[in-house]
Structure 1
């Protein structure tokens, strides 16, 4: 979800209020429906859009018209598996003033694949985050992901940097999911909804400062710091997890920031009934 423009007013507001210990709504229910779009705009490295030179395939169609799983490449490993990404959509609750809550997992299963098999280069992700109770608010968005596959070589020949401390980290670049915006206000204060990326196992996140993030993920057979499987080394596909998180805080805005509420609430006017 690309939320930069939407969140501008909320960022100013969130920094200009004080936390309240007495929100009238103690918790909000939520659900996410996020997935990869098989929209013909995806690309394999070195090929035109929709030209499937990397054996790209989509799996597990979800209720957002997108897919939870994306795989690519020709198998060349003991597990006989393609590299793939899998999105876990989470249903849960966010406690007001309770801190960050996981809303999605993006897992990268990084297998060795042949150069001839080709690599995924770009794909669009459709995201839908919904507050389901006690109010109903939907926040949709589409974001592009760019991917750079590094081959399973020794650490001397792999391009850097490799901030995970392993060789030949694969690299994703995507638009940012961070910032805050007002959800709604009652007589005492305002509920502020915030998002962020969080690095799980095998993942390092670098903020590029331009609204994009570079995400490094662990290469296969890199548990010993060397890419590729050496003599006598047990094959270990790389695994990494990128986590998206949300939180809701209740604040009492200062008088001079009340005028910003109208700007911030415009972006959250997209309300939809709870899905049955």
Structure 2
């Protein structure tokens, strides 16, 4: 009986300590590869000559009729990013692609972009230690665009004649938080690998709370979030992202050992009761 008890207690201690050692050995992923793929969908244009057209796998939208007075169309575009490593856990931002508005003058009677969805997909791949790619994280920005008349009657914050206006309609659903005076940051849902929880933060430069006159001009409510683009300029807005981690609470080895001993004691008690 004493020998059986010793074997049972030994097993009850060895198993929990082995589990504890296994949990402690799970490594933090310190370096990630990443791939960002973006596209425009559900776009629409105003009534008028011509139409809004998509190209380069929906990464470019163009509008405006080309003629002697207007030699180039206006457009928006988004770039993709692909790197095998370099996104460091709890480290600095990495580039996530560039949103560009080529703001050319178009005819007053031309069809112009009015709305679009910007869809961005981020795929992370553990680089150190190496691992398989994770499922893509998707984010959609429901966006609206106002092609302003170049008549000098501009919104107060305009720096050209006259700035065009972008707004984001689902900023609250995205959980965006302002970063300084010029930019918003959006956090992903956290995910867990082994003993660590990870969260990705995406930042878009240029996004800000617009003045009431700009929101009204864009047909949005006061306090809207968006950005202004200068007429006759190529306007670039950089995106970037970072990843943070925190340990997941796991039972300490001592707690697991006590739990194992308790289970073993319960088993011995039942065994005694069965024999008596």
TM bin, normalised by shorter chain, reads: 0.5 to 0.7
Unaligned runs of 5+ in 2: 1-26, 175-185, 216-220, 251-276
The count of residues paired between Structure 1 and Structure 2 equals: 195
Residue in 2 that maps onto 1:18: none
Instruction: State the shift of 1:53 in Å.
Output: 4.5
Residue in 1 that maps onto 2:165: 171
Change over 3 Å in CA distance of 1:24–1:59 after alignment to 2: same
Matches within 5 A, 1:1-276: 24-37=28-41, 41-45=42-46, 47=47, 53-61=49-57, 67-75=58-66, 80-92=71-83, 93-133=86-126, 134=131, 135-154=133-152, 157-158=153-154, 160-162=155-157, 165-174=159-168, 175-176=170-171, 178-187=186-195, 189-199=196-206, 205-206=208-209, 213-220=225-232, 238-252=233-247
Single out whichever of 137-146 and 239-248 deviates more from structure 2. 137-146
Instruction: State the shift of 1:99 in Å.
Output: 1.8
Bigger Cα Rg: 2
CA-based RMSD of the aligned residues comes to 3.1
Is the 2:145–2:166 contact (alpha carbons within 8 Å) kept by the matching residues of 1?
yes
Instruction: State the shift of 1:90 in Å.
Output: 0.8
Change over 3 Å in CA distance of 1:166–1:248 after alignment to 2: same
SS in structure 2 opposite 1:219?
coil
After TM superposition, the score normalised by the length of structure 1 is 0.61
Residue in 2 that maps onto 1:11: none
Is the 1:32–1:127 contact (alpha carbons within 8 Å) kept by the matching residues of 2?
yes
Change over 3 Å in CA distance of 1:191–1:198 after alignment to 2: same
Change over 3 Å in CA distance of 1:185–1:210 after alignment to 2: farther
Unaligned runs of 5+ in 1: 1-22, 62-66, 221-237, 256-276
Is the 1:166–1:218 contact (alpha carbons within 8 Å) kept by the matching residues of 2?
yes
Instruction: State the shift of 1:43 in Å.
Output: 2.1
- Highest RCO, 1 vs 2 (Cα 8 Å, sep ≥ 6): 1
After TM superposition, the score normalised by the length of structure 2 is 0.61
Is the 2:199–2:243 contact (alpha carbons within 8 Å) kept by the matching residues of 1?
yes
Higher helix proportion: 2
Instruction: State the shift of 1:147 in Å.
Output: 0.3
Instruction: State the shift of 1:162 in Å.
Output: 2.0
Change over 3 Å in CA distance of 1:239–1:81 after alignment to 2: same
SS in structure 1 opposite 2:136?
strand
Instruction: State the shift of 1:124 in Å.
Output: 2.3
Deviations 1:213-269 (A, max 9, x none): 21111112xxxxxxxxxxxxxxxxx121222221111224689xxxxxxxxxxxxxx
